[in-house]
Amino acid sequence: MSIRLEARPQPSRTMIWLSPILAIGLTCCVAMVIFAVAGLNPLSALATFIFTPVTDLYGLGELLIKAAPLVLIAIGLSIGFRAGVWNVGGEGQLIVGVIFGGWLALTYGPGGGPWVLPAMVVGGAIGGALWAAIPALLRTRFNANEILTSLMLNYVAQLWLGYLIFGPWRDPAGFNFPQSEPLAPAALFPTLIEGTRANASILLALVAVGLGWALMSRSFVGFQLKITGLSEGAARYAGFSPSKAVWIGMLAGGLAAGIAGVGEIAGPLGQIFPTASPGYGYAAIIVAFLGRLNPIGILFSGLLMSLLYLSGDVAQMSLGLPSSITGLFQGTLLFFLLTADVLIHYRLRSSTIAAAVVAGSAK
């Protein structure tokens, strides 16, 4: 028996909605198998895994501050992904956002007024965008593959930040430890919900969702980007140059990642460390795909990914499982979603069954 794909005359509306649910359901099944193998009660372990992190207000706040940067970066990346521009340099762009925003915070933060924080956000955005502009330039001018250049730049950015924190930006009162001075209050996001760490940077993520939606669904540029993603030839024919798509796609990702970087140092960190980036630049790629490159979808997938992170720690604390389970489930979820998405455009046909049907009807 072999399985065959048969193109649907038009994309299945049901499957568009069903496929993420299917993917989540299947991932839960895999999770339960892993729990069972580890000698745990699959159902109660799954319940612990999913619900424990968000049983109180503090947990909800944690969910939001982890989801915010993921959503923000994923929105930015998705604009490029839509146009077939593969920016996998979100991590490096986030770090350069940290460097630019951090420089402003360290220079003007102490004694600075209420303008410091907005300046940091703008500075971070510029930093991220500049870092993203390098692969964009190399792609448009020299035809260099942006996946590889943006990725290599992640390592470079990390070393650059390391140099700054181990060198010029080292906290003089910190015994030479690799950390900056604590950021001044003017350089920190205000807390939104009392008793949690949820801060105003969450609002930036929501704004990004709105802007992303407006750009992709309500603007001509968004339409052009989508066309480019579908067929470069068609876009060119419509007078939209692929270079423009590269620039818009890369810069959107860089801007968003840079702002997310500022959100980390001006939020949960409150200080600059060489390890300021928690890998959000990579995780956001999954978020973007899980959200099917749709801003509203990304909002939900960002929350889901954030929950998975928190659950990974719960798995360790209460279930005795290693924390790498988080990445395992994230990868699995994405696999299932990509598989399930096939069903939007194709029907699965088993040739044996089809043959049997034919044989049966012939009688």
Partner 1 sequence: MLQLNRRNFLKSAAATALLAGTGLPALAQGEKLKVGVIHMGAISDTGWEYFQAQAWRALQAEFPDQVEVTVLENIAQIQDCERLFRQLSTQGHQLIFGTTFSQYASLKKLAPTLPNSHFECCAGIDAGDNLGVFEGKHHEGTYLTGIAAGRMTKSNVLGWVGAFPVPQVIYSLNAFLLGARSVNPDVVLKVVWANAWVDPAKEKDAVAALVAQGADVISGSPNTPVQGLAAEEKGVWSIGSTGDFSAYVKKAQLVSFELDWSAAHIEAAKGVLAGTWEPTNRWRGLGDGGFVKMTTSSPDLPAEVAAEMATAEAAIIAGTLNPFAGPIKDQAGAEKVVAGAVLPDEEIKGMTWLVEGVQGTLPSA
Partner 2 sequence: MSQFLPILLATLIAGTPLVYAALGELITERAGVLNMGVEGMMVTGAVVAFAVALTTGNLWLGVLAAMVAAGILSLLFSVLAITFRANQVAVGLAMTIFGTSLGSYLGKPFVGMALVLDPSQAAGGFAQLPLVGLIFSAIHPLVWLSWILFAAVWYFLSRTRAGLALRAVGESPTSAHAIGYPVVRIRYLATLFGGAMAGVAGAYMSTVYASLWTEGLIAGRGWIAVALVVFATWRPERCFAGAYLFGGATMAQLFAQSAGIGVPSELMSALPYLATIVVLVLISRDAALMRLSVPASLGKPFDPQG
Contact residues for partner 2 (CB under 8 A)?
3, 5-7, 86, 88, 138, 141-145, 147-149, 151-153, 155-156, 159-160, 162-163, 166-167, 282, 285-286, 289, 322, 324-328, 330-332, 334-335, 338-339, 341-342, 346
Query: What's the min distance (Å) between Cβ of 332 and partner 2?
Result: 7
Query: What's the min distance (Å) between Cβ of 113 and partner 1?
Result: 24
Q: Which of 8, 322, 345, 354 binds partner 1 (CB under 8 A)?
A: 322
Q: Which is nearer to partner 1, 23 or 71 (CB)?
A: 71
Residue 317, binding choice from partner 2, partner 1, none, Cβ under 5 to 8 Å by partner class: partner 1
Query: What's the min distance (Å) between Cβ of 32 and partner 1?
Result: 19
Q: Which is nearer to partner 2, 33 or 207 (CB)?
A: 33
Residue 331, binding choice from partner 2, partner 1, none, Cβ under 5 to 8 Å by partner class: partner 2
Three-state secondary structure string covering the chain: CCEEEEECCCCCHHHHHHHHHHHHHHHHHHHHHHHHHCCCCHHHHHHHHHHHHHCCHHHHHHHHHHHHHHHHHHHHHHHHHHCCCCCCCHHHHHHHHHHHHHHHHHHHCCCCCCCHHHHHHHHHHHHHHHHHHHHHHHHHHHCCCHHHHHHHHHHHHHHHHHHHHHCCCCCCCCCCCCCCCCCCHHHCCCECCCCCCCECHHHHHHHHHHHHHHHHHHCHHHHHHHHHHHCHHHHHHCCCCHHHHHHHHHHHHHHHHHHHHHHHHHHHHCCCCCCCCCCHHHHHHHHHHHCCCCHHHHHHHHHHHHHHHHHHHHHHHHHCCCCCHHHHHHHHHHHHHHHHHHHHHEEEEEHHHHHHHHHHHHC
Instruction: List binders of partner 1 among 278-307 (CB under 8 A).
Output: 278-279
Query: What's the min distance (Å) between Cβ of 94 and partner 1?
Result: 12
Site string for partner 1, 45-84 (x = CB under 8 A): -------------x---x--xx------------------
Binding-site size, partner 1 (CB under 8 A): 40
Q: Which is nearer to partner 1, 113 or 172 (CB)?
A: 172
- Report the C-alpha gap between 244 and 313 in whole angstroms: 42
Residue 223, binding choice from partner 2, partner 1, none, Cβ under 5 to 8 Å by partner class: none
Site string for partner 1, 176-205 (x = CB under 8 A): xxxx--x--------------x--------
Q: Which two three-digit tokens encode residue 41?
A: 């009660």
Query: What's the min distance (Å) between Cβ of 355 and partner 2?
Result: 17
- Report the C-alpha gap between 120 and 115 in whole angstroms: 9
- Interacting residues toward partner 1 by CB under 8 A: 58, 62, 65-66, 159, 162-163, 166-168, 170, 174-179, 182, 197, 264, 268-271, 273-276, 278-279, 309-310, 313, 316-318, 320, 322-324
